[in-house]
């Protein structure tokens, strides 16, 4: 279902990407470079197929998942692999980096970098690129979608109509209003700010927690997550995952949010103490939750499957055709720039 | 002495209005004693219509002194407005009690349909994520072109919300609205040709029945989606089902249907459709606001003051003189 209008082409980075591609045609010099001999390792299947197809067309593509024994791939090919394309599921950890002596660049098909051993890359002088900004809108759209889905029980409504019990004229279950509810955001970065702007259109007062107060915003700042949770009705997790933010949502925070509160996690699974979250939901100590990420993806806690006040998604935060295509173009653009000794488009600083 | 209000609930819905029960004396044909009822039926002046209880000539004949009908819903197609106008009876509706909730729900259905939220949730609960891997990609919301059919209080609220998602807004309405700056299209078909998503939120009248017909849906196209939070009969449902099944429209988010509670079976199997049993309006916080509005209307009536949410029967083009 393509759009009538090319959304990717209106993105701020789109013109940069297009410019890079215009500068990198099949010129005599690049033919001489014979990019088809450059070994690129793709860590796992990624959709849409466009990325894999392009990598295959331009480089000597090695698909990690086709080798059940990783050593089968690494032994014969480790000397040719100069680039790794990873994503939020499988990136480039220390073990993989160590096994690739000729690795020059890790171009991640993601904005999250927690699956890449950045310290090791720095040590080895390996460049790392990612795809920032492109997923901001999709992630923020999803955050609001989860809030509406949980509060208005849209999933439950849909299931009710499809599977019964039979909808009688008299059956109606009251759900919960979104307009005007207070929204607390953990992490007021690009995605957090985008969520705030959308929630404001629903007349929601916005508050936030962040490592430090932001000077250029009018939203109310709370110096601790517990304070934030005590003072909002909907708590949205959208910060990056670091050792400090692991389990930032713990029992105390969940208790502060309370039986009428709703937790939305579009960050990373480990942001939330999942065992505590599950027991709070099952016991009714937390009002509801919308979760796009889990501690052990692709496993999601089965104890939640029977609950009506929970929405569970398989990490689809940036899973739109438009955005993934734009991300793929950025991965390809970064690789191309690197192998032509041009400035990287989106290096991790 | 408390003012007497005729309380009519012939809908299947079990709703009560505790705030009104405190203030007024209800005359309920289902529960009042026969003698009380017959003594007051001839003199009661105001009627509270619960949910979609029908109010037609037969009803109005029973209560010859009626001067006002107080509705408890936004849509009034269960009330014979032409007959009310003929008899000089004034009518009020729920005003903006449910407008925010309807707008929230429309946006929710729209995102749900594009981002396949319910289907993705089913995928997780069925255990498919671990077995089948990634859920298929869905479609971006940001920046889509949205056409609103019906730019009333709900349409305006939907526009405000969707603008925050980077959507551009255009609309169709009986006439262009003076204080709205979005592009206006004189026909729904023209509107549909120029947008990615059509949101239907106008009133159901004789003129707007099946306003979303086959031509409009074909104009919206294979990539287009429809969101209906108005009334089922605004859309030619049979045609819509055919087009959805054949893949000639991209998808639909539907809170209302032509023959509720019947929902066409063919829709159950479709992943690009979100179905909802007409819940767009009802949230507890809004029932409070509804009662406030109804109280205000009733008290204004008895005080001979202007009503809060009166429908202008004179200006309705479907009223035949």
Q: What is the pLDDT of residues B174-186, one digit of tens each?
A: 999 999 999 999 9
Domain assignment of residue A344, yes or no = no
**Partner residue opposite A141 with nearest CB, options B111, B121, B263:** B111
Do B283 and A155 lie within an 8 Å CB cutoff?
A: no
Q: Of A34 and B106, which is predicted with more confidence?
A: B106
Q: What is the mean pLDDT of residues A275-289?
A: 97
Among candidate residues A11, A60, A82, A268, the one labeled active-site is: A268
pLDDT band at B112 (very low <50, low <70, confident <90, very high): very high
Cα distance between residue B278 and residue A172, in whole Å? 8
Q: What is the mean pLDDT of residues B82-111?
A: 94
**A104 is a catalytic site residue:** no
Do A297 and B143 lie within an 8 Å CB cutoff?
A: no
β-pairing verdict for B4-8 and A288-291: unpaired
pLDDT value at residue A89: 84
Check pLDDT > 90 for residue A249.
yes
pLDDT band at B287 (very low <50, low <70, confident <90, very high): confident
Domain assignment of residue A349, yes or no = no
Please count the residue pairs, one from chain A and one from chain B, whose beta carbons lie less than 8 angstroms apart. 210
CB B229 within 8 A of CB B254: no
Q: Of A47 and B183, which is predicted with more confidence?
A: B183
Among candidate residues A315, A324, A336, A338, the one labeled active-site is: A315
In this chain, the answer to whether the domains covering B4-96+284-320 and B99-275 adopt an identical fold is yes
Cα distance between residue A38 and residue A60, in whole Å? 6
pLDDT band at A17 (very low <50, low <70, confident <90, very high): low
pLDDT band at A161 (very low <50, low <70, confident <90, very high): confident
Rg (CA), chain B: 22
Mutation test of the interface with chain B: which of A2, A148, A297, choosing the one with the most B Cβ atoms within 10 A?
A148
Mutation test of the interface with chain B: which of A162, A292, A296, choosing the one with the most B Cβ atoms within 10 A?
A162
pLDDT value at residue B33: 82
**Partner residue opposite B283 with nearest CB, options A176, A200, A312:** A176
**ipTM value > 0.95:** no
Domain assignment of residue A305, yes or no = yes
**Partner residue opposite B223 with nearest CB, options A1, A168, A175:** A1
CA distance B265 to chain A (A): 8
Do A312 and B125 lie within an 8 Å CB cutoff?
A: yes
**A315 is a catalytic site residue:** yes
| The listed CATH number (1.10.150.120, 3.40.50.720, 3.90.226.10, 3.30.420.40) that belongs to domain B4-96+284-320 | 3.40.50.720
> How many residues are present in chain B?
321
Whether residue A199 sits in one domain with residue A103: no
Domain assignment of residue A347, yes or no = no
Q: State the DSSP code for A268.
A: -
Q: State the DSSP code for A189.
A: S
CB A313 within 8 A of CB A129: no
CA distance B48 to chain A (A): 19
Whether residue A176 sits in one domain with residue A54: no
Farthest-apart Cα atoms in chain A, separation: 74
Do B135 and A316 lie within an 8 Å CB cutoff?
A: yes
Check pLDDT > 80 for residue A72.
no
Among candidate residues A52, A54, A104, A297, the one labeled active-site is: A297
pLDDT band at A70 (very low <50, low <70, confident <90, very high): confident
Domain residues for the domain of A251 are: 136-312
Whether residue A274 sits in one domain with residue A330: no
Q: pLDDT (tens digit, 9 = 90+) per residue, B296-319? A: 999 999 999 999 999 988 766 554
Domain assignment of residue A27, yes or no = yes
Whether residue A128 sits in one domain with residue A184: no
Contacts of A152 in chain B (CB under 8 A): 104-105, 108, 279, 283
Closest CA to A260 of A289, A233, A220, A230: A233
Q: Tell me, yes or no, if B51 comes closer than 8 A to chain A by beta carbon.
A: no
Q: Tell me, yes or no, if A144 comes closer than 8 A to chain B by beta carbon.
A: yes
Whether residue A170 sits in one domain with residue A296: yes
pLDDT value at residue A2: 43
Check pLDDT > 70 for residue A15.
no
Check pLDDT > 60 for residue A28.
no
Domain assignment of residue A345, yes or no = no
Q: What is the mean pLDDT of residues B93-100?
A: 92
Among candidate residues B78, B86, B214, B278, the one labeled active-site is: B278
Which B positions 203-232 lie with beta carbon below 8 A of chain A? 221-223
- Mean pLDDT estimate for chain B: 92
Q: pLDDT (tens digit, 9 = 90+) per residue, B218-236? A: 999 999 999 999 999 999 9
Nearest CA in chain B to A319: B137
CA distance A148 to chain B (A): 6
Count of structural domains within chain A: 2
Q: Tell me, yes or no, if A215 comes closer than 8 A to chain B by beta carbon.
A: no
Cα distance between residue B171 and residue B186, in whole Å? 9
Check pLDDT > 50 for residue A6.
no
**B268 is a catalytic site residue:** no
Check pLDDT > 80 for residue A169.
no
Identify the weakest region by mean pLDDT among A67-71, A333-337, B68-72, B258-262.
Answer: A67-71
Domain assignment of residue A124, yes or no = yes
Q: Tell me, yes or no, if A173 comes closer than 8 A to chain B by beta carbon.
A: yes
Strand blocks (E) in A58-217? 60-63, 81-86, 105-108, 127-129, 183-186, 206-209
Q: CB under 8 Å to B246, separation ≥6 — which residues?
A: none
pLDDT value at residue B321: 36
pLDDT value at residue A5: 40
Which B positions 9-38 lie with beta carbon below 8 A of chain A? 11-14
Q: State the DSSP code for B135.
A: P
pLDDT value at residue B267: 94
Identify the weakest region by mean pLDDT among A79-88, A152-161, A307-316, B194-203.
Answer: A152-161
pLDDT band at A238 (very low <50, low <70, confident <90, very high): very high
pLDDT band at A170 (very low <50, low <70, confident <90, very high): low
Whether residue A278 sits in one domain with residue A328: no
With the CA atoms of B239, B262, B226 and B171 taken in that order, what torsion angle do they form, in degrees rounded to the nearest 10?
100
Residue ranges per domain, chain B?
4-96+284-320, 99-275
Residue A298 preceded by cis peptide, ω within 30: yes
| The listed CATH number (3.20.20.70, 3.40.50.720, 2.30.140.10, 3.40.50.2300) that belongs to domain B99-275 | 3.40.50.720
Whether residue A168 sits in one domain with residue A88: no
Contacts of A154 in chain B (CB under 8 A): 105, 108-109, 112, 117-118, 274, 276
Identify the weakest region by mean pLDDT among A65-69, B251-255, B290-294.
Answer: A65-69
Helix, strand, coil shares of chain A, percent, nearest 5, are: 40, 15, 45
Q: What is the mean pLDDT of residues B134-138?
A: 92
pLDDT band at A32 (very low <50, low <70, confident <90, very high): very low
Check pLDDT > 80 for residue A235.
yes
Mutation test of the interface with chain B: which of A269, A316, A324, A325, choosing the one with the most B Cβ atoms within 10 A?
A316
Which B positions 63-92 lie with beta carbon below 8 A of chain A? none
Check pLDDT > 80 for residue A263.
yes
Q: For the domain that residue A271 is a member of, what is the CATH number?
A: 3.40.50.720
Q: CB under 8 Å to B142, separation ≥6 — which residues?
A: A7, A137, A138, A141, B165, B166, B167
The pTM (predicted TM-score) of the whole model is: 0.85
Q: pLDDT (tens digit, 9 = 90+) per residue, B238-285? A: 999 999 999 999 999 999 999 988 999 999 989 899 999 888 776 888
pLDDT band at A11 (very low <50, low <70, confident <90, very high): low
Check pLDDT > 50 for residue A262.
yes
Mutation test of the interface with chain B: which of A310, A313, A318, A327, choosing the one with the most B Cβ atoms within 10 A?
A313
């Amino acid at each position: 279902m393509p759009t009538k209008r090319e959304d990717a082409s209106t993105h701020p980075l789109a013109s940069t990407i297009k410019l890079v591609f215009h500068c990198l045609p099949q010129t005599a010099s690049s033919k001489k470079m014979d990019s088809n001999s450059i070994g690129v390792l793709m860590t796992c299947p990624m959709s849409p197929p466009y990325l894999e197809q392009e990598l295959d067309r331009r480089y000597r593509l090695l698909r990690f998942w086709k080798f059940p024994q990783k050593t089968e791939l690494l032994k014969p090919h480790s000397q040719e692999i100069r680039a790794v394309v990873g994503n939020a599921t499988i990136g480039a950890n220390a073990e993989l980096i160590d096994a690739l002596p000729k690795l020059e660049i890790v171009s991640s098909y993601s904005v999250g970098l927690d699956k890449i051993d950045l310290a090791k890359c720095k040590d080895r002088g390996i460049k790392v690129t990612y795809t920032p900004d492109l997923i901001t809108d999709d992630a923020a759209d999803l955050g609001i979608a989860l809030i509406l889905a949980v509060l208005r029980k849209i999933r439950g409504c849909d299931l009710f109509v499809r599977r019964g019990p039979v909808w009688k004229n008299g059956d109606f279950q009251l759900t919960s209003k979104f307009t005007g509810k207070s929204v607390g955001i953990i992490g007021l970065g690009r995605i957090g700010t985008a969520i705030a702007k959308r929630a404001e259109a629903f007349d929601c007062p916005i508050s936030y927690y962040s490592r430090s107060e932001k000077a250029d915003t009018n939203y109310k700042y709370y110096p601790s997550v517990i304070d934030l949770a005590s003072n909002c009705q909907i708590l949205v997790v959208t910060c990056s995952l670091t050792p400090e933010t692991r389990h930032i949502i713990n029992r105390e925070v969940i208790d502060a949010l309370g039986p009428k509160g709703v937790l939305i996690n579009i960050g990373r699974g480990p942001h939330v103490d999942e065992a505590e979250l599950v027991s709070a939901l099952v016991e009714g100590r937390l009002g509801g939750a919308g979760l796009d990420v889990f501690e052990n993806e692709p496993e999601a806690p089965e104890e939640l499957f029977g609950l009506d006040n929970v929405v569970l998604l398989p990490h689809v935060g940036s899973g739109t055709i438009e955005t993934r295509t734009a991300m793929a173009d950025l991965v390809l653009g970064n690789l191309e720039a690197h192998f032509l000794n041009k400035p990287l488009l989106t290096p991790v600083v | 002495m408390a003012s007497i209000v005729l309380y009519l609930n012939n809908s299947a819905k079990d709703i009560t209005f505790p705030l009104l029960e405190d203030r007024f004396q209800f005359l309920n044909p289902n529960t009042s004693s026969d003698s009380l009822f017959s003594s007051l039926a001839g003199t009661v002046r105001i009627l509270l219509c619960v949910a979609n209880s029908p109010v037609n000539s037969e009803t109005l004949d029973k209560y010859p002194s009626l001067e006002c009908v107080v509705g408890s819903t936004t849509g009034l197609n269960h009330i014979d407005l032409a007959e009310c106008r003929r008899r000089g009876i004034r009518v009020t509706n729920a005003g903006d009690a449910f407008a925010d909730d309807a707008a929230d729900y429309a946006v929710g259905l729209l995102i749900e349909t594009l981002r396949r939220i319910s289907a993705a949730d089913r995928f997780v609960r069925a255990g498919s994520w671990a077995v089948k891997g990634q859920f298929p990609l869905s479609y971006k919301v940001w920046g889509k072109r949205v056409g609103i059919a019906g730019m009333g209080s709900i349409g305006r609220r939907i526009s405000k919300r969707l603008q925050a998602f980077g959507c551009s807004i255009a609309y169709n309405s009986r006439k262009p609205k003076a204080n709205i700056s979005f592009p206006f299209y004189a026909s729904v078909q023209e509107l549909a040709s120029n947008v990615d998503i059509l949101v239907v939120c106008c009133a159901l009248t004789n003129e707007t029945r099946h306003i979303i017909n086959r031509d409009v849906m074909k104009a919206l196209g294979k990539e287009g989606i429809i969101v209906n939070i108005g009334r089922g009969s605004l859309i030619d449902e049979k045609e819509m089902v055919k087009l959805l099944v054949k893949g000639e429209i991209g998808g639909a988010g539907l809170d209302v249907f032509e023959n509720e509670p019947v929902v066409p079976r063919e829709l159950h199997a479709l992943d690009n459709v979100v179905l909802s049993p007409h819940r767009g309006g009802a949230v507890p916080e809004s029932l409070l606001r509804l009662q406030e509005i109804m109280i205000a209307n009733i008290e204004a009536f008895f005080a001979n003051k202007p009503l809060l949410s009166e429908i202008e029967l004179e200006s309705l083009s479907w009223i035949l003189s």
